[in-house]
Amino acid sequence: MENQFDAIVIGSGISGGWAAKELCEKGLKTLVLERGRDVRHIKDYPTMTMNPWDFEHRGRMTKAFYQENPLITKASGYGEDTTHFFIKDADHPYVQEKPFDWIRGYQVGGKSLIWGRACQRWSDYEFKAPKKYGYGIEWPIGYDDVASWYSHVEKFIGVCGNDDGIEAMPDGEFLPPFELNCVEEHMQATLKEHFPGRHLVQGRWAHLSEPEQVHLDQGRGKCQCRNLCMRGCPFGGYFSSNSSTLPWAEKTGNLTIRPFSVVHSIVYDEASGKASGVKVIDTNTKEEIVYNARIIFVNASALNSNLILLNSKSERFPNGLGNDHDVLGRYVSFHNYRAGAGGAIKGFEDHYYYGSRPSECIIANYRNLKEQDTDFVGGYTIFTGAYRNRAEEVPEDAPQLGADFKHRLSKPGDWRIYMYMQGETIPKPSNRVYLSEDKTDDWGIPLLVTDVGYDENDEKMVVDFLEESQKMLEQMGCTDLYSYDSKQAPGLDIHEMGGVRMGKDPKTSLLNEFNQMHQCKNVFVTDGACMTSTGNQSPSILYMALTARAANYAAEQFKNNVL
């Protein structure tokens, strides 16, 4: 009986936290299985209030560490202050058939501790485009199906932003936005005057700019704009599972979290035609344990959810759970983050700004909306902003203390503008992940092989962004223009998606409109693995909305004894 629950959630990150919250609130005894260690809000944020000089290596890692961890140290925001929330390369190997930088954070809270917190809604254009322009299958849902769930999530986690009335990036339930600075206002006005249909707005960010009662009830407070978010925030100023959904679920008395529990596979019961439970390996003792439940939510993050399902083999499903057609593990996609641009701008030297701001501005996608207006498909969001450099950099051999040093550091220099793209990529059967036939990890689980790359469409999109960003920067009055194509491998974009896609037709997809497996109805996959296409918005808030929607549906089916 100890191993029997109403529901099991695999993974405690952004989507798993939401599954736990909704299922526990509906009264289901819920077990959350997490492969990593426990991380408690505030107590387990060792660097949250440290000063730069408190760090042994002033925020960097040692040369030896970089050599041993060439992959994970590439992650945005990685450093001495955040290292404990990322994996180490050698501990969690995988096989790169093509280069793929898989960025992971294995602990209670997952990547919710270290995410960037950008939270735009998908537009209906993004749901419709793959079918309309012939680069993907039809989504089984549209914007109207998720709009109220976006609201549900936004109100609880707290998302700040403006109502901007842009079709390509719908408005939501926002807390007050952070301000634009004077150059960003100039950028906004320039686009409005010279680039009809292009809108620069303040980003939508999961920060409590003005907490409401529901946030105070979570024990969270106002964002202090410290911009030290990835260390864990003692104020709960940004959304993480650790500060929000998991403690909320715990308060119901229905939650059990089991850290150090790597899920090996889902157990399928031939007689009932349903999953009966989950096989776990204790990462410390290597003991195998089976937990049973009537509902299983798979939220291990996109590629790990693929791995678990591929490894869930039975007589009925020899190629992985629900995989009658070899679609599982295919159509993996990601966001194209390769290109950026920027320049200097004159005329605002008598203006400055006060303090830090945890958000960025966004130029909403303007490509391929009502019709295909380029030689590629899909769109791109641009993240952008303006800031002031220091007037002069202090050379490393000059004294690093004293009045002169302080004076040189505090003199403001040029205003500068930066931009970078977040582009949609096409889901293709050839972009896939699968299990290694001969290599396993420390717990005997097959390693994942990543076979994912860019295509011609991605190259064309990069060219378009580079041309258009130069035009916009020139029109804004920028000089000293620069641009780059980093050619970075997929993965570093940290928005991997697909492999277990939703769809109307069970012959070409694995999940229905409620993220329920077509072939195994009590298993729900609601993290990035479920994505039919990538859109161009930051995806995590959609995973949260889909998770909340699916969990409420599952709880209702549970109560009606359908599941």
Could you tell me which residues come within 8 angstroms of residue 21 by beta carbon, excluding any fewer than 6 positions away? 245, 246, 248, 249
CB closer to ligand FAD out of 160 and 263:
263
CB closer to ligand FAD out of 301 and 516:
301
In this chain, which of 8, 39, 129, 262 binds ligand FAD, going by CB under 6 A?
262
263 lines the binding site for ligand FAD (CB under 6 A): yes
CB closer to ligand FAD out of 129 and 545:
545
21 lines the binding site for ligand FAD (CB under 6 A): no
Least distance in angstroms from the C-beta of 112 to ligand FAD? 5
Q: Quote the DSSP letter at residue 195.
A: S
13 lines the binding site for ligand FAD (CB under 6 A): yes
Residue nearest to ligand FAD (CB): 13
- Between the CA atoms of 120, 239, 300 and 284, what dihedral angle is there, to the nearest 10 degrees? 160
Burial call 389-410: b when 16+ CB within 10 Å, e when fewer: eeeeeeeeeeeeeeeeeeeeee
Taking CB under 6 A as the binding criterion, the range among 178-186, 293-301, 350-358, 555-563 that sits at the site for ligand FAD is: 293-301
With CB under 6 A as the rule, give the number of residues binding ligand FAD: 41
Contact pattern for ligand FAD over residues 523 through 542, marking x by CB under 6 A: ----xx---------xxx--
Distance separating alpha carbons of residues 527 and 241, to the nearest angstrom: 14
35 lines the binding site for ligand FAD (CB under 6 A): yes
301 lines the binding site for ligand FAD (CB under 6 A): yes
The phi and psi torsions of 402 (rounded to 5 degrees) equal: 100, 170
Taking CB under 6 A as the binding criterion, the range among 73-81, 154-162, 231-239, 428-436 that sits at the site for ligand FAD is: 73-81
Q: In the structure encoding, which two tokens stand for residue 93, read together?
A: 């190997």
Taking CB under 6 A as the binding criterion, the range among 27-35, 189-197, 318-326, 415-423 that sits at the site for ligand FAD is: 27-35
Distance separating alpha carbons of residues 209 and 246, to the nearest angstrom: 22
CB closer to ligand FAD out of 320 and 343:
320
Burial call 444-455: b when 16+ CB within 10 Å, e when fewer: ebbbbbbbbbbe
DSSP E strands, 430-519 = 432-440, 446-451, 478-485, 497-499, 516-517
Q: Report how far apart, in Å, the C-alpha atoms of 260 and of each of 19, 36, 305 are.
A: 19, 5, 17
Element (H, E) at 457: helix 456-476
Please classify residue 193 by burial: count the beta carbons closer than 10 Å to its beta carbon, then call 0-12 exposed, 13-18 middle and 19+ buried: exposed
Please classify residue 375 by burial: count the beta carbons closer than 10 Å to its beta carbon, then call 0-12 exposed, 13-18 middle and 19+ buried: exposed
CB closer to ligand FAD out of 94 and 139:
94
Least distance in angstroms from the C-beta of 399 to ligand FAD? 35
In this chain, which of 5, 6, 9, 12 binds ligand FAD, going by CB under 6 A?
12
In this chain, which of 118, 266, 435, 448 binds ligand FAD, going by CB under 6 A?
118
CB closer to ligand FAD out of 304 and 536:
304
Least distance in angstroms from the C-beta of 106 to ligand FAD? 4
The phi and psi torsions of 448 (rounded to 5 degrees) equal: -85, 140
Least distance in angstroms from the C-beta of 79 to ligand FAD? 11
Half-sphere exposure of 210 (CA within 13 A, CB side): 7
114 lines the binding site for ligand FAD (CB under 6 A): yes
In this chain, which of 30, 304, 431, 509 binds ligand FAD, going by CB under 6 A?
304
Could you tell me which residues come within 8 angstroms of residue 43 by beta carbon, excluding any fewer than 6 positions away? none
Other Cβ atoms less than 10 A from the Cβ of 145: the count is 16
Contact pattern for ligand FAD over residues 470 through 499, marking x by CB under 6 A: ------------------------xx----
The answer to whether 450 and 101 are in contact (CB under 8 A) is no
The answer to whether 387 and 429 are in contact (CB under 8 A) is no
Nearest to 407 by CA among 388, 389, 394: 394
117 lines the binding site for ligand FAD (CB under 6 A): yes
Residue type, 19: A
77 lines the binding site for ligand FAD (CB under 6 A): yes
Q: 3-state class of 231 per DSSP?
A: helix
Taking CB under 6 A as the binding criterion, the range among 14-22, 152-160, 341-349, 505-513 that sits at the site for ligand FAD is: 14-22
33 lines the binding site for ligand FAD (CB under 6 A): yes
The answer to whether 137 and 130 are in contact (CB under 8 A) is yes
Cα–chain center distance at 224: 23
103 lines the binding site for ligand FAD (CB under 6 A): yes
The DSSP bridge pattern shows strands 288-298 and 330-333 to be: unpaired
300 lines the binding site for ligand FAD (CB under 6 A): yes
Q: Quote the DSSP letter at residue 3.
A: T
CB closer to ligand FAD out of 135 and 334:
334
Q: In the structure encoding, which two tokens stand for residue 436, read together?
A: 């290694």
CB closer to ligand FAD out of 516 and 540:
540
Least distance in angstroms from the C-beta of 3 to ligand FAD? 16
In this chain, which of 30, 47, 69, 112 binds ligand FAD, going by CB under 6 A?
112
Taking CB under 6 A as the binding criterion, the range among 106-114, 131-139, 287-295, 352-360 that sits at the site for ligand FAD is: 106-114
187 lines the binding site for ligand FAD (CB under 6 A): no
Which residues are at the interface with ligand FAD (CB under 6 A)? 10-16, 33-36, 75-77, 103, 105-107, 110-112, 114-118, 262-263, 299-301, 304, 308, 494-495, 527-528, 538-540, 543
